[in-house]
Chain A
């Protein structure tokens, strides 16, 4: 095609143009920054337009709601950046919740029960990881299977009953806020996790290995990255954090149920993708994911506060996600159109 050749040369000049820009400008033009700007925009508009949105109460409720999604989105970012996916997280969360309920009911001290839940999460992740790497199955198939399996065990263990008696200290920890700031105490845990995962993804060989695997598994392998080991560790991390989120969930609602957080995996994955992580792997950053989670959370909270019905909220959130996934495609199409119009004149000269 005649179009492709000049298009490539044009790409070349754009590269130099981009790298010629100062660092701050390149930083400003990233996908992550776009999500952050969008988040700020939505917050500003909501504060101005939606009555009672700009309060510490809103902040508190909002953070309590997004905390589990935010937690799980961190390891999920690692998994998706490798070009894999983990659909079993919400089921692991439910299983962890049930286990916590059963163990505390059986008289185990809460800290010991928590450790047991975390170990369970690691094992659940290990199973996913081994099936993906050693057995060599696609992670989509594996985790669809474990999504059903872990949820089945969770619901099977407690049936339709719920364990609701937990020590007030622990439920208080998950529900209380720092004075009048509205910031939940649980955010300390979330912020600590964010710091750990930012360091892990962006400042360690393990993190660079993940990016490399996402770009090309073969290249990563021949460059000395332990592909299978990295993948198993990443799946174990999602399992561990999902179990941790399950503990938070149980204490926050004071209720251990097999059907806790049903469907949460979709919110997590949606937020990660919205945050600029490529579903094909290799591209993404933690700060974008955090902005993505908060963007969905703020939007939903503002819409609810404005008495928009849940159906409309679902439509808006869905449309936003499609739009964010479509926008690169749409842009390249738009650019090629613009380019096609520009080429004939160039050829005349």
Chain B
């Protein structure tokens, strides 16, 4: 290559590069003005009255059916009280990516950020900066350390989950006989807490139901499937299985569906409608539970409104009304509980897509 080549190229290359970047920049700002008409205008001038009802949902990542459902619930609530709804978020779930979005929202001066945290601490200082700038911070689905947010909307408590699982299984087996649990891993903190509570609940209120075994599928589809098969063989009188994990319940349902036990052994637990739809529709599973993410988003939006209005500050005992869901009270650590888990059955499963 002759030494001339680089120099010779530079002139024309420089012009082309600048032209290209300029074109992209103009394109980008063009996008911005169209985008801002429907989303960001409220950020500056605020929605109705003198309150800044510009509320932005920041899920763990975009394109996730669960968050699409919850954010849609939030959008519904915000429309009801006349605020401006927006949703931003990273393409993949990562705390560092969420920080950039929090920073941007701080600059835009939104009224509230409703976030599902990818990390309990990594986004903390960014959230504190947002709050220092007057933005209210509500967490939902996944919390940060309490010091970094104004309110946490909790989907369900361990007690609530354990109780509904026991209720569902005992109802399905006629409150008598043997049941077993298919859990995630042996050291999963939340699973073990639920199992403990289930045992107490069974002992206290269902004397004719015996828990004969607890097996672990490690949240792996194939392992859970095999454990289900083994469980049914070693306990021929088994009448019901509780699987408080979305992986476990789906794998167990898949096994039951094609086996002789279909319709004979009851199965319930925590699952998502999209995973369980076929099994519910063909009768393998009668009912299972999870919270309703749309309600979660709806409540979070009203929680944000109450913070913006100043009706609540996150103090224990504060009360606010969340539209159609009714009145809620702030509990310990600025936490609001959505309520009991939601039961999905053949009748309502078609209404959900996540």
Partner of B95, one of A31, A175, A255, A283: A255
* Distance, CA A311 to CA B103, complexed state (A): 18
Whether A180 sits at the interface, judged by CB under 8 Å, is no
How would you classify the secondary structure of chain B's contact residues: helix, strand, loop or mixed? helix
- Within the complex, the shortest CB–CB distance from B37 to chain A, in Å, comes to 10
Q: How far is the CB of B9 from chain A (nearest CB, A)?
A: 6
Interchain CB contact under 8 A, A308 and B32:
yes
- Once the chains are docked, how many angstroms separate the CA of A319 from the CA of B28? 12
Interface membership of B25, Cβ < 8 A: yes
Chain B residue with Cβ nearest A55: B107
Instruction: Say whether B36 contacts A306, CB under 8 Å.
Output: yes
**A307 proximity list for chain B (CB < 8 A):** 32, 35-36, 39-40, 86, 88
Smallest distance from the beta carbon of A213 to chain B beta carbons, Å?
15
Q: Could you say which of B13, B15, B86, B96 contacts A328, with CB atoms under 8 Å apart?
A: B13
Q: Is B353 interfacial (CB-CB < 8 Å)? A: no
CA gap between A172 and B101 in the complex, in Å: 21
* A199 contacts B by Cβ under 8 Å: no
Q: Given the known A-B contacts A254-B125, A262-B94, A304-B101, are A50 and B14 also in contact in the complex, defined by CB atoms under 8 Å?
A: no
CB B237 to nearest CB in A, in angstroms, measures 38
Q: Which of A249, A306, A314, A335 makes the CB contact (< 8 A) with B35?
A: A306
B215 interfacial contact with A, CB 8 Å = no
Contact of B107 among A14, A26, A61, A332 (CB under 8 A): A61
A/B pair count, beta carbons within 8 Å: 187
Question: Cβ of A331: which chain B residues have Cβ within 8 Å of it?
Answer: 9, 12-13, 16
Query: Within the complex, what minimum Cβ distance (angstroms) separates B242 from chain A?
Result: 25
Cβ-defined partner of B119 (8 Å) among A52, A162, A312: A162
Nearest B residue (CB) for A27: B10
Pick the contact of B17: A12, A28, A31, A253 (CB < 8 A): A31
- What sequence of 0s and 1s flags, for each residue 114-145 of chain B, a beta carbon within 8 Å of any chain A beta carbon? 00000111111100000000000000000000
Is B104 in contact with A323, judged by CB distance below 8 angstroms?
no
On chain A, the residues within 8 Å of B90 by CB distance are 310
Assess whether A227 is interfacial by the CB under 8 Å rule: no
Alpha-carbon separation in the docked complex, A171 to B17 (Å) = 39
Indicate whether A196 reaches chain B with its CB closer than 8 angstroms.
Answer: no
Which residues on A sit within 8 Å (CB–CB) of B15? Answer: 34
Nearest A residue (CB) for B26: A45
Q: Do residues B32 and A332 form an inter-chain contact, with CB atoms below 8 A?
A: no
**Nearest A residue to B106 by beta-carbon distance?**
A57
A contacts with B: majority SS: helix
Q: Cβ of B174 < 8 Å from any Cβ of A? A: no
In the complex, whether A141 has a CB less than 8 A from a CB of chain B is no
Please name the residue on chain B nearest to A65 by beta carbon. Answer: B100
Complex contacts, B91 vs chain A, CB 8 Å: 310-311, 314
Residues 302-349 of A contacting B (Cβ, < 8 Å): 302-312, 314, 316, 319-320, 323-324, 327-328, 330-332, 334-335
CB within 8 Å for A254 and B121 given contacts A15-B8, A34-B13 = yes
Asked if B18 CB lies within 8 Å of chain A CBs, one says yes
B125 touches A175 (CB 8 A): yes
The answer to the question of A92 belonging to the interface, with a C-beta cut-off of 8 Å to chain B, is no
Distance of A20 from chain B, by nearest CB (Å): 11
Kindly state whether residue B2 has any CB partner on chain A within 8 Å. yes
The 8 Å CB contact of A14, one of B8, B18, B88, B123, is: B8
The distance from the CB of B102 to the nearest CB of chain A, in whole angstroms, is 9
Chain A hits for B6, CB < 8 A: 283
Does B14 lie within 8 Å of A30, measured CB to CB? Answer: yes
- Which B residues are CB-close (under 8 A) to A57? 106-107
Question: Does any Cβ of B come within 8 Å of A51's Cβ?
Answer: yes
Closest to A33 in B: B14
- Which residues of chain B have C-beta atoms less than 8 A from A309's C-beta? 35, 62, 88
Closest to B9 in A: A328
- A312 with B31, Cβ < 8 A, contacts A26-B7, A29-B10 known: yes
| B208 CB–A CB distance under 8 Å | no
Q: Is the Cβ of B104 less than 8 Å from the Cβ of A253?
A: no
Known: A15-B2, A335-B12. A49 touches B95 (CB 8 A): no
Residue A46 interfacial (CB < 8 Å): yes
B5 within 8 A of A: yes
Mark out the residues of chain A between 142 and 164 whose CB falls within 8 Å of any chain B CB in the assembled complex. Answer: 162, 164
23 contacts across the A-B interface (CB closer than 8 A): A12-B4, A15-B3, A18-B8, A30-B14, A31-B10, A38-B22, A49-B33, A52-B107, A57-B107, A162-B121, A164-B120, A164-B121, A254-B124, A302-B28, A303-B31, A304-B100, A306-B32, A307-B88, A308-B32, A316-B28, A327-B13, A330-B16, A331-B13
Chain B interface (Cβ within 8 Å of chain A)?
A: 2-18, 20-22, 24-29, 31-33, 35-36, 39-40, 44, 62, 86, 88-91, 94-96, 99-101, 103-104, 106-109, 119-125
Q: Spell out A's residues near B (CB within 8 Å).
A: 11-12, 14-15, 18-19, 26, 28-31, 33-35, 37-38, 41-42, 45-46, 49-52, 55, 57-58, 61, 65, 162, 164, 171, 175, 249, 253-255, 257, 259-262, 283, 295, 299-312, 314, 316, 319-320, 323-324, 327-328, 330-332, 334-335
